[in-house]
Amino acid sequence: MTQVTQDTTAPTLPKWLKLSDEGVTVTLKYPTLISEVLTDALTMRAPSVKDWRASKVAGNGDYEKQELSLFGSLTGLTEAELLTLKYKDYQRLSAGYFRLVEEDDV
Q: Consecutive 10-residue runs of the chain (106 residues): their mean pLDDT? A: 57 90 94 94 96 95 95 96 96 95 70
Q: What is the pLDDT of residue 75?
A: 97
Give Cα 28 to chain centroid, integer Å. Answer: 11
In a domain, 9, yes or no: no
In a domain, 106, yes or no: no
Q: What is the pLDDT of residue 102?
A: 84
In a domain, 30, yes or no: yes
Give Cα 24 to chain centroid, integer Å. Answer: 6
Q: What is the pLDDT of residue 72?
A: 97
Which residues form the domain of 30? Answer: 17-101
Task: Return the beta strands (E) in 1-106 as ranges.
Answer: 17-19, 23-34, 37-45
Q: What is the pLDDT of residue 44?
A: 97
Give Cα 91 to chain centroid, integer Å. Answer: 8
Q: Is pTM beyond 0.75 here?
A: yes
Q: What is the pLDDT of residue 12?
A: 85
In a domain, 5, yes or no: no
In a domain, 39, yes or no: yes
Stated length of the chain? 106
